[in-house]
Amino acid sequence: MIEQLVVLNPAAFSWGMITPVLPELVLLAIGVALIVLDLFAPRQRQLLPWMTVLGVSAVLLVNLGMYTPAEPGAMLRNDAYSAFFCTLCLASVILAALMREFYSTQVQSHQGEFYSLLVFSAVGMMIMVASVDLITIYLGLELMALPIYVLTGMHKKDLRTSEAAAKYFLMGVFASAFLLFGMSLLFGLTGTTNVAEIGAYIGRNNLADNASLVMALALLIAGLCFKVAVVPFHMWTPDVYEGAPTVLTAFMSVGPKAAGFAVFGRIMLAVFPELHANWGPVLALLAVLTMLVGNITALVQSSLKRMLAYSAIAHAGYALLGIAAGSASGMAAAMSYLFIYLFMNMGAFAILIIFSQGVEQGESIDSCRGMASRNPVLALCMLIFMFSLTGIPPTGGFTGKFYLFQSAVAAGYTAAVIAAVLLSAMSAFFYLRVIRLMYMSGPEQQPAITAPSVGMLVVLGIAVAGVLATGLVPGALFDWAQRAMLP
């Protein structure tokens, strides 16, 4: 007992132990600093987005340079896999902060709270992608989700946001409970919460036919599918994405979804490789259903924001195909696709924010009408993003889909890939409709659009460069993802 209490003595505490979580701790400190600054220096509020961007970029660089060796029993692991997803998630935070700078002149829009909650959510995502233990996976997931519930409902004056927050919150809690029940069954079966040890235990004891294990697998898949918005667990997505503030929608459809996929891939490939025959076809079927529902429902939307919400569902289906393949190359393809999706989706939402001018009617697809003559540069950017979302070369969307479909065919899901190709051809209809409205219909009597802010221009620059770079020279990104999947 005495020996154990020595741990409480600060002099005997080994500070080296906290080095692996240092980036998370720094990010936490930045989040606290942001809200304190908002409170005590209200005149300097326009600096908050830039501080967020600087702080998160610094943490990202530190985290990239940090590889801790895998220790048995460790709950977090900074490996190439977590570094890849960490870059993706933190990049989405940086882009969201830059986009939010557009609103920095608005009064009473909770500037400090927005950035600080965004950063807290980023801490949760970092923990999620680095965790190799069920406890930390759950804690990271909740730390990521709780600030987003608040962010969704923050503008209390707008009726839509409270409703979106309530729906998101209820569905999130429900999904977490499913995930947890699956985790508790796994713990009971194997006696450990470490992901790799659970996988090894299942392999060692031939538990693949155990009914409880299959039950745990089903519960985990249901919980994770809720989190990444896969049909039939997607009902909350369109409403929440439409009701939330647009900057947050852009962030939610990229960062937290990528973190969810990181956990999904980690659990499926590390815990259940023996059961791939069970979950592979199920996930492939869910992926096709997701693309079907996402793409068909997007066809009939008259709101651009809601159309992009359904397109986000469809794209989760494409990425899920990579996980369903159950191979390292499939996961690598899904990872690169999510990275490309970061650029094209953030870019499309940035344009939506500029076009809509902050009013609800502006979110209609008609606000694109005649945009090519009103602002040709913005119209050209939107053209590139829409081409990429459809999957037309030479954009990143094409190369990403190409590698995904290739890995799914290699895993034997030819029928699913044929369905995916057909549905992605169908998606051209609603993506290209935006382009047709921009280029081929005359401008109506509309007020000139306000010039985008500096942050918005940076976002558009990064997004266009990212989409074109991943389309023209895809090698670097795919090599990085492949390396991240090496054991």
Partner 1 sequence: MIPLHWYVGLASALFCIGVCGFLTRRNLIMMLLSAELMLNAVNLNLVAMSYYLESLRGHAFTFFIITVAAAEAAIGLGIAIALYQHRRSVHTDSFTDLKG
Check binding of 156 to partner 1 (CB under 8 A): yes
Check binding of 242 to partner 1 (CB under 8 A): yes
Q: Name the 3-class secondary structure at 131.
A: strand
Helices (H) and strands (E) in the chain, counts: 21, 0
Could you tell me the smallest distance in angstroms from the CB atom of residue 203 to partner 1? 19
- Cα 119 to Cα 39: distance, rounded to the nearest angstrom: 17
Closer to partner 1 by Cβ: residue 213 or 458:
213
Q: Which of 22, 36, 41, 170 binds partner 1 (CB under 8 A)?
A: 170
Eight-state DSSP code of residue 68: P
Closer to partner 1 by Cβ: residue 45 or 160:
160
Check binding of 181 to partner 1 (CB under 8 A): yes
Check binding of 177 to partner 1 (CB under 8 A): yes
Check binding of 130 to partner 1 (CB under 8 A): no
Residues in Cβ contact with 200 at an 8 Å cutoff, skipping those fewer than 6 apart:
none
Beta pairing partners, 364: 303
The H or E element that residue 441 is part of is none
- Both tokens assigned to 348: 């499309």
Q: Which of 81, 102, 103, 169 binds partner 1 (CB under 8 A)?
A: 169
Q: Which of 89, 164, 384, 477 binds partner 1 (CB under 8 A)?
A: 164
Is the CB of residue 335 less than 8 Å from the CB of residue 395? no
Q: Which of 139, 208, 285, 469 binds partner 1 (CB under 8 A)?
A: 139
Is the CB of residue 103 less than 8 Å from the CB of residue 81? no
Size of the site for partner 1 (CB under 8 A): 41
Q: Which of 76, 126, 130, 185 binds partner 1 (CB under 8 A)?
A: 185
Q: Which of 23, 31, 124, 153 binds partner 1 (CB under 8 A)?
A: 153
DSSP H stretches of helix in 271-395? 276-299, 304-324, 328-356, 371-374, 376-390
Cβ-based neighbour number of residue 385 at 10 Å: 28
Q: Which of 25, 41, 62, 191 binds partner 1 (CB under 8 A)?
A: 191
Query: First CA to last CA across the chain, in angstroms?
Result: 39
Q: Which of 165, 221, 423, 460 binds partner 1 (CB under 8 A)?
A: 165
Residues in Cβ contact with 11 at an 8 Å cutoff, skipping those fewer than 6 apart:
none
- Which of these ranges, 28-36, 234-242, 365-373, 395-403, lies near partner 1 under the rule CB under 8 A? 234-242
- Name the residue with tokens 């007020």: 447
- Cα 264 to Cα 266: distance, rounded to the nearest angstrom: 6
- Which of these ranges, 77-85, 135-143, 370-378, 474-482, lies near partner 1 under the rule CB under 8 A? 135-143
Binding positions for partner 1, rule: CB under 8 A: 134-135, 138-139, 142, 146, 149-150, 153, 156, 159-160, 162-167, 169-170, 173-174, 176-177, 180-181, 183-185, 187-188, 191-193, 238-239, 242-243, 301, 303, 306
